[in-house]
Amino acid sequence: MIDVNLIRNNPQAIRERYLKRGKDIDFTAFLQLDEQRKQIISQVEQMKAQRNKVSAQIPQLKKAGQDVAQTIAEMKALGDEIAKQDAELGKVNEQIRDFLLRLPNLPDEDLLAGGKENNQPIYTYGQKPTFDFQPKDHVELAKSLGLIDYERGAKLAGNGSWIYTGLGARLEWALLSYFIDSHDQKGYTFMLPPYMLGYDCGLTAGQFPKFEDDVYQLANAEGNKFLLPTAETALVNYYRDEILAESQLPKKFYGYSACFRREAGSYRSEERGMIRGHQFNKVELFQYTTPEQSDAAFEEMVGMACGLVEGLGLHFQLSKLAAGDCSDSMARTYDIEIYIPSMDIYKEVSSASNARDYQARRGNMRYRRESDKKLDYMHTLNASGLATSRVFPALLEQFQNADGSVTIPEVLRKYMGGLEKICPVKK
C-alpha cells in the first residue's frame, strides 16, 4: 500500500498520479473517514486521561471517608463509553485499511500516462529472422518434432494445458537449467518455494483482495490457500513481518516454480499452443533493497533478463511500459518481448518491475538504518528470468530450418547431451 501521509498532505497530487494509470480516485470520503478516526482517538485519549485521573483519586477519597459509589458508577459508565468508542475506532481503521489495500501503486514520475499504446521500445537485439522457405508456426513444429502433445494435455487437464515429451521435455529442462546456472553466477541465492500459499501472501504481493479471482483457490485445503501464480508471490513474503539490518541488504534470490493462473476469458487465435496457458514454468529474480539501492537493482535485473535472451541468440525488444500498462502493484516495469515470426508480433517473456515500498508496507517488511537506527521500509523488485512458455515457441520458430529441423542454441547444447539439432520424427 502507499504511505497514507501522501494522501493526507496532498490528495490532489496523488489523484493526478493515479490519473496516469487511467484511474480517477476521489479521496473525499477517505479523508472524512481519516478525520473521524482522529476525532475518535482524541476523544478516547481524553476519556482515558479523565478515568486515570479520577481512578487515582478514589483511594484518597475513601481514606478521607467520602462516599465514592457515585464516582465509581461514573467511571464504569466512562469505561463503557471508552469501549464503545474503541469498537468504533476499530471499524473505522478497518475501513481505512481496506481502502488503502485496494489502491494500486503510484507510478514513477517519469512514466508516460496511458496504456499499451504509449509503451516505448527502448532497446532491440538482433534482427527479425527471414526465411527462404515457408516457415511453420511453433504448434506445427512442436508436433512434427515430437516435442509437445497438445491433444493429450487437453485430455488430462483441459484447454490451456500440454505435455512435454521426449526431446521437448529435455529442451524445456535445458532452458530452465541455463537460466538457473546464469543466475547462480551473479550472486543470487536459489530458492524452491512451496506451491500452496496462504492468503496473506497474496495480500502482501498486492494481488489480493482485488485480483483474488485470477488465482486457483484451494477450497478443500486447510486454511485459505491458493496455488502460486508466480514465484514472486512466495519470495516477496520471505521477510514478511521481519526487520533486517541495513548491512544485510540487498538480498538477492531466484526461484523456480511451476506457475498456475486461471487466465479467464476466451483464447485468441494468436494465443494457440503454449503462448497462453494455465500452467507454465518460470524462473523468477527477486531483490530486497534499500531505497538508495533500488534503481541500480532494477537496472541489474533488467540486464540479467535481457542477457538470457541474448545468450540464446533470439531477436527481442525491451519496452518501457506506460503507467496504465504496469500491474497495479508496480511503480515501473520494463517488458522483455520476444519475437514470434508466425504472428509477426512481440510477446512478453519477462516483466522486470520495481514495487518501491508498496509491497513492503503491505507485508510490514522493514530494515534498521545504520546511520540513525531508525526503521524504514525495504524496496522490493522482481523480474522473470525467464518464463519458458514463450521462449520455447520463439526458439522453435526463429531457429527452424528448411528441412523441418530446429537448431539448438549453443548455450543449451551441454544440457541436451551435445545435440545440435532436433529433427522431425519419422513416422
pLDDT tens digits, residue range 375-388? 999 999 999 999 99
Residue 263's pLDDT band (boundaries 50, 70, 90)? Answer: low
- Whether the pLDDT of residue 275 is over 80: the answer is no
- Whether the pLDDT of residue 265 is over 50: the answer is no
Which residue shows C-alpha cell 465514592? 68
Q: For position 280, what pLDDT does the model report?
A: 93
How far is the C-alpha of 177 from the C-alpha of 412, rounded, in Å?
9
CATH number of 26-102: 1.10.287.40
Cα–Cα distances (Å) from 132 to 247, 349, 400, 401, 421, in that order, read: 57, 27, 11, 10, 19
pTM: 0.93
Q: Is 421 exposed, middle or buried (0-12, 13-18, 19+ CB in 10 A)?
A: middle
How far is the C-alpha of 317 from the C-alpha of 120, rounded, in Å?
10
The tens digit of pLDDT for each residue in 1-59 reads 999 999 999 999 999 999 999 999 999 999 999 999 999 999 999 999 999 999 999 99
Q: What is the mean predicted confidence (pLDDT) over 314-333?
A: 98
More confident residue, 245 or 186: 245
The pLDDT > 90 percentage for the chain reads 89
The tens digit of pLDDT for each residue in 355-367 reads 999 999 999 999 9
Q: For position 273, what pLDDT does the model report?
A: 64
Q: For position 266, what pLDDT does the model report?
A: 44
More confident residue, 186 or 326: 326
The tens digit of pLDDT for each residue in 402-420 reads 999 999 999 999 999 999 9
The tens digit of pLDDT for each residue in 217-243 reads 998 888 889 999 999 999 999 999 999
Q: For position 270, what pLDDT does the model report?
A: 52
- Whether the pLDDT of residue 82 is over 80: the answer is yes
C-alpha cell of 174?
A: 535445458
Q: For position 221, what pLDDT does the model report?
A: 82
Residue 159's pLDDT band (boundaries 50, 70, 90)? Answer: confident
Of 212, 235, 234, which is closest to residue 224 (Cα–Cα)? 212
Contact criterion met (CB below 8 Å) for 214 and 229: yes
Residue 65's pLDDT band (boundaries 50, 70, 90)? Answer: confident
The mean predicted confidence, pLDDT, of the chain is 94
Residue 123 pairs with which residues in a beta bridge? 318
Contact criterion met (CB below 8 Å) for 144 and 424: yes
Q: For position 184, what pLDDT does the model report?
A: 84
From 125-134, 260-269, 304-313, 390-399, the region with the lowest mean pLDDT: 260-269
C-alpha cell of 289?
A: 533493497
The pLDDT > 70 percentage for the chain reads 97
Range(s) for CATH 1.10.287.40 in the chain? 26-102
Q: For position 274, what pLDDT does the model report?
A: 66
How far is the C-alpha of 198 from the C-alpha of 215, rounded, in Å?
12
From 112-126, 208-222, 256-270, the region with the lowest mean pLDDT: 256-270
Range(s) for CATH 3.30.930.10 in the chain? 116-422
Of the candidate CATH numbers 3.30.930.10, 2.40.40.20, 3.40.50.300, 1.10.10.10, the domain formed by 116-422 belongs to 3.30.930.10
Ramachandran assignment for 299, one of left (phi > 0), alpha (psi -120 to 50 degrees), beta (any other):
alpha
How far is the C-alpha of 69 from the C-alpha of 64, rounded, in Å?
14
Residue 87's pLDDT band (boundaries 50, 70, 90)? Answer: very high
Residue 205's pLDDT band (boundaries 50, 70, 90)? Answer: very high
Q: For position 160, what pLDDT does the model report?
A: 85
Q: What is the mean predicted confidence (pLDDT) over 279-291?
A: 97
